[in-house]
Structure 1
Amino acid sequence: MLNLEPKRVFHFFQEIDKIPRKSGDEKAVSDFILSWARELGFDVVQDEYYNLVIKKGPSAGYEISKPVIIQAHLDMVCEKTPESSHDFTKDPITLRADGDWVSSDCGTSLGADNGIGVAYAMAILEDDQLAHPPLEVIFTVCEESTFDGAANISTDLYEGKRIINLDHSVDNQVLAGSCGGSGINFELPLQWEKAPADGRFYKLYVEGMEGGHSGEDIHRGRGSAIELLIRLIRDEEIHLCSMKAGSYRLAIPRDGCCTVMVKDGQEAYLEQHVAEMREVFRKEYFAAAPELNVRLEKAEAEDILAAADKKKVVQIIDLFPNGIAKMNGAIPGVVESSNNVGTIDLCDGRLFLTAETRAAYMTTVQDILDKVDSLAAIFGAEVTYFGDYVPWEYRPDSALRLKAQEVYQQMFGEEMHSLVVHAGIECAMFIEKDPEMDAIAVGPNCEYFHSPGERMSIKSTQKMYQFVTELLKNLK
């Protein structure tokens, strides 16, 4: 166990990280917190989705204050390195500290997104020395997949009109708006055929790309392992057997593998082609993916994809919206809309793709989905959409945001910048249910969300816990 300050925050964070909590599998962590809250005598409700609402009365002097909601999500994105043997269904995530940074010690994502928000809220609930108005702590599920938790929680379970979301990752920023979006499943039947007797088979790997959050990192030019694999296999002499790349639609694909076949006598050509493309990719991504590698290894024989269907796979990835669609004309440097092709899998006679669309307006979300519909119609593919979430529109007159900025300035002598982020935030769901809701999102410095490189600043965790507790003190 790491012995870090604030002690109770890191205690709860490490306890949470012992419990598997992949998005959609939050029952165990929800039950753990439910039991903990009951032991401390809080008014707590667990709904049918495993959302939790925990209420704590006001401290002395805040008896007539209106309640404040503190909100975080229980689930996490489960990413690991190819070398990691971690099993996200049963293994605890162990931590290590290196200088100012905490990260996973088992080659996985850390779970600070949004475990640190949960830990903050639990530490606040436990501490009877803090000054605060009535508190309603809401822990939601499925934020990283479908937003079903926030979308389905009943407004009968809480009263507050002010919500502090703890799912942001830059400590001198107050989040005041976010994008909307939708998940995409895209499927196409394909035909395989027997390989020729003189076929020579290889596994072709793209490894070591940076990946990252499919919204917040989409502008960083980190590339896609899926797109690089497609560039490697364009040649008609390279036959495709199978392909699997990316791990989640909400993460930029870091790694991928395909099995290919060339005819006897073409082995040297394939090796030279891969070596040349390796250097091309390293040149293109020398800054964004310094660990990028492309390699070949011999493989067992497989059926090959029919030539016409291999061409379809290449064309679909070439044409599928991927990366930034538009920049925000009103806010310089902010992405307005994007799409991330997060996974590809050729198996069971079909092509399977998953993707995530994000945009500041649902009209531009729909514009991208219309393009996907057109692509599906051209190729005869089946496409379904799921997990829709609405944008959180910026309010220049937000009293909660202005108070947060005032408190931050008083505490640290510097400005707390407000911004709108290219990611989905649950505040939008709460505002959709109640347009009078005033919302912000804050949190400590974290990097490389949705990847095994995820890490969290120790000093910033201390700083922002002090800030959140001081903000509560100022919300009479």
Structure 2
Amino acid sequence: MTSVVEGLKPEIIWKHFETLTKIPRPSKHEGKILAYIKKFANERHFEIREDETGNIVVLRPGSGGGENAPIIIIQSHVDMVCEKNRDSQHDFMNDALKLYIDNGWLKADGTTLGADNGIGVAAAMALLDLPESTPLPPLECLFTVDEETGLTGAFALNGEIVKGRTMLNLDTEDWGEICIGCAGGGDSSINLPVVYVEAPTDYLSFQLSVEGLKGGHSGVDIHEERGNAIVFISSIIDDILENAKISLTSLEGGDKHNAIPREAFSQLYIHPESVSDAQNSVANRARALRDEFGTMEPNIDIKFTGSNELPNKCLSDNSQMELVRLLRTLPHGVLKYSHEVEGLVETSNNLASVKKINDDINIVCSTRSSISEALESQRRRIRIISEAFGAIAEQEEAYPGWAPNINSPVLEITTKVYTELLAKDPHICAIHAGLECGVIGEKVKGMDMVSFGPTIKGPHSPDERVEISSVDKFWDLLLKILNELSKK
């Protein structure tokens, strides 16, 4: 069977990436990919260091004249966000991804692709696979775990397993950008106690659904003001409550804390005399949402249909009112842009998920900011809002941002090589997303870092895709930077 990536350049990266797509690697379930990397390193007789969390470092000695150069850390994370379309039967714990090429982009059929950060992992493995004559400094290829659910691997990193103090992070997703800073962030897990009562026997059962939204990364895509399915569905239910007699039995939407919700669903009972009013409310709100988001969300699909499901419990009138109003009050989207860097989102919040856990309704918000005080201010705001509706917001310690250093030696080298290679300057930037650089920089003092990578669109959604041509340019840049660093 012909490989989908056959003939793509650089062959060495695509070969490794295709292998990665056959190995299940959901966040918190990285055992298979870690075992593969260790086997790969052992077969090449490379030293391996490992910490208790599962982070591993594979050491490649300097070569081609770079034997005595300073150690360079090549950093990537092995886990991937596992999102799929509702009609997909894909099993992320066992199945290989199904790849295809669409107009110069590599995609996966109905699921996330895992190019975030699989391309970075593949590039690190490709470096380890290069001939011994290749001009390279000593490399510490650092593979971290569980980045996507809160930078867990980076937080728990034992800094003793890395000796280098210059790091190339391969997790930036816009070719041509050299990232030198990122936002910090922290999640809020909001638990709303609710009361369930016997469902009315004379009401009719309906399902309300919001589907077809783009979703995307709650950091790098938040400025596009894409639709949020939880925001949409709660606004529709709020309107129904104003005009009809209903009893809410369930409301769920979203999944990952760092993904903008694409879908949301609600099961509800409606008094027979209120059905027409409820249908009008849904139609009016759907029309308004299409008018507001139509060009951004052309595939928005809002359905309100009769249901054969007949749950025997529903929320009390007070509980359903508290839930809907809490969802309507919690912030979502860009909260502030930077005054210093034009176009850079400074502070945002993602209303990420809502679901039933035991007897409570759990809501997750993911807040980001490049200003630590602003981050904590917004997290306190979320606590205050939650308490006003009788909920409790649990918040773990936020992860740190990465402060830009425009005088960074590795930035100077990277910029020089990029300009010589492409005859134009790179875009030096900071991003509104959590990179492991911020946490690793706190763990290992004195670390000099930059981040770059190929173009990846739609990360954390089934629309994820990587631009094939940018991978070749990214690889060329990486090799030339390391060639330059091997001369030090």
Name the TM tier (shorter chain).
Answer: over 0.9
**1:349-395 alpha-carbon deviations (Å, 9 max, x no partner):** 21111121111022111111111221232233222123631010011
Using the TM superposition, name which of 41-50 and 222-231 deviates more. 41-50
Stretches of structure 1 that go unaligned for 5 or more consecutive residues are none
**Residues 180 and 358 in structure 1, CA contact (< 8 A), matched pair in contact too:** yes
Question: Which of 114, 121, 125 is equivalent to 1:122?
Answer: 125
Letter in 1 for 2:176: N
1:296 match:
304
1:347 to partner: Cα distance: 5.2
Matching residue's letter, 1:301: L
Give 5+ residue unaligned stretches, structure 2: none
CA distance in 1, matches of 2:163, 2:122: 23
Distance (whole Å) between structure 2 residues aligned to residue 290 and residue 189 of structure 1 = 36
Q: Distance in 1 between matches of 2:58 and 2:359?
A: 48
Distance 1:79 1:263 in 2: 36
Which residue of structure 2 aligns with residue 112 of structure 1? 115
The alpha-carbon deviation at position 437 of structure 1 amounts to: 0.9
The whole-number CA distance in structure 1 between the counterparts of 2:155 and 2:209 is 39
Q: Corresponding residue for 2:220?
A: 216
SS in structure 1 at match of 2:454 = coil
- Of 317, 322, 336, the match for 2:346: 336
1:361 to 361, 366, 371: 371
Contact residue 68 and residue 164 of structure 1 kept, 8 A: yes
Give the counterpart of 1:186 among 186, 190, 198. 190
What residue is the counterpart of 1:259 in the other structure?
Answer: 267
1:406 to 413, 416, 427: 416
Deviates more, 1:174-183 or 1:147-156: 147-156
The amino acid that maps onto 2:469 is: K
Retained in 2: the 8 A contact 1:249–1:354? yes
In 1, the alpha carbon distance for the partners of 2:361 and 2:53 equals 32
| Paired amino acid for 1:452 | P
Paired AA for residue 413 in structure 1: A
Please give the alpha-carbon distance, in whole angstroms, between the structure 2 residues aligned to 1:21 and 1:363.
Answer: 35
Structure 1 residues 420-444: Cα deviation after superposition (integer angstroms, max 9, x where no partner): 1000011112211233111000000
Correspondence 1:220-369 to 2 at 5 A? 220-234=224-238, 235-236=240-241, 237=244, 238-299=246-307, 300-302=309-311, 303-346=313-356, 348-369=358-379
Match of 2:88 in 1: 84
Q: Pick one of 19, 22, 46 that aligns with 2:23.
A: 19
8 Å Cα contact 2:51-2:161 kept in structure 1:
no
On the 8 A contact 1:34/1:46 being kept in 2, the answer is no
* AA partner of residue 334 (structure 2): I
Report sequence identity in percent.
32
Q: What pairs with 1:444-455 in structure 2 (closer than 5 Å)?
A: 444-455=454-465
Deviates more, 1:73-82 or 1:318-327: 318-327
Which residue matches 1:441? 451
Aligned-partner Cα distance in 2 for 1:259–1:406: 58
In 2, the alpha carbon distance for the partners of 1:385 and 1:434 equals 25
2:35 corresponds to 1:31 = yes
* Contact in 1 for aligned 2:215/2:262 (Cα 8 Å): yes
1:143-154 mapped onto 2 (5 Å cutoff): 143-154=147-158
- The SS at the match of 1:139 is strand
Q: Per the alignment, in what secondary structure is the counterpart of residue 386 of structure 1?
A: coil
Contact 2:205 2:310 in 1 (8 A): yes
| Preserved contact between residue 147 and residue 387 of structure 1 (Cα < 8 Å) | no
CA deviation profile, 1:383-427 (whole Å, cap 9, x unmatched): 212363101001110111121111111111111110010000111
Contact 2:215–2:259 (8 Å) recurs in 1: yes
Distance across 1 between alignment mates of 2:103 and 2:385? 48
TM superposition shift of 1:60: 2.6
TM-score between the two structures when normalised by the length of structure 1: 0.97
**Superposed CA RMSD:** 1.3
| Distance (Å, rounded) in 1 between the aligned partners of 2:282 and 2:327 | 20
**Which whole-Å CA distance do the structure 2 matches of 1:229 and 1:451 have between them?**
19
> What one-letter code is carried by the residue in structure 2 that aligns with 1:138?
L
1:365-376 pair list within 5 angstroms: 365-376=375-386
- The answer to whether the Cα contact below 8 Å between 1:23 and 1:76 also exists between their aligned partners in 2 is yes
1:349 maps to amino acid: D
| Greater CA drift, 379-388 or 330-339 | 379-388
Contact 2:191 2:393 in 1 (8 A): yes
Shift of 1:277: 2.1
The one-letter amino acid paired with 2:310 is A
In structure 2, what residue type is equivalent to 1:81? N
Letter in 2 for 1:463: K
1:80, distance to aligned residue in structure 2 (A):
0.6
Please, which moves more after superposition, 445-454 or 273-282?
273-282
The CA deviation at 1:192 is 1.6
TM-score, normalised to structure 2, is: 0.95
Question: Could you tell me how far apart the structure 2 residues matched to 1:318 and 1:282 are?
Answer: 19
Matched residues, number: 475
The reply on whether 1:421 has 2:431 as its aligned counterpart is yes
Paired AA for residue 297 in structure 2: A
**Contact 2:50–2:161, Cα closer than 8 Å, also in 1:** no
For 2:12 and 2:429, how far apart are their aligned partners in 1?
A: 30
C-alpha contact (below 8 Å) 1:233/1:240 kept by paired residues? no
Alpha-carbon shift at residue 337 of structure 1 (Å)? 0.8
Structure 2 partner of 1:396: 406
Determine the C-alpha separation between the residues in 2 that align with 1:287 and 1:349.
Answer: 39
Q: Which residue, 178, 181, 186 being the options, matches 1:177?
A: 181
Q: CA deviation at 1:266?
A: 2.6
Who is 2:478 aligned against?
468
The 4+ residue runs of structure 1 with deviation greater than 3 A are none
Contact 1:146 1:386 in 2 (8 A): no
Deviation string, structure 1 residues 279-302 (Cα, Å, up to 9, x no partner): 211111111110001002222222
Deviations 1:316-349 (Å, cap 9, x if unpaired)?
1122122112111111111111111110013532
Counterparts in 2 of 1:346 and 1:148: CA distance versus 1, 3 Å: closer
TM-aligned CA deviation for residue 270 of structure 1: 2.4
Q: Which residue of 2 aligns with 1:10?
A: 14
Tell me the CA shift for residue 278 of structure 1.
1.9
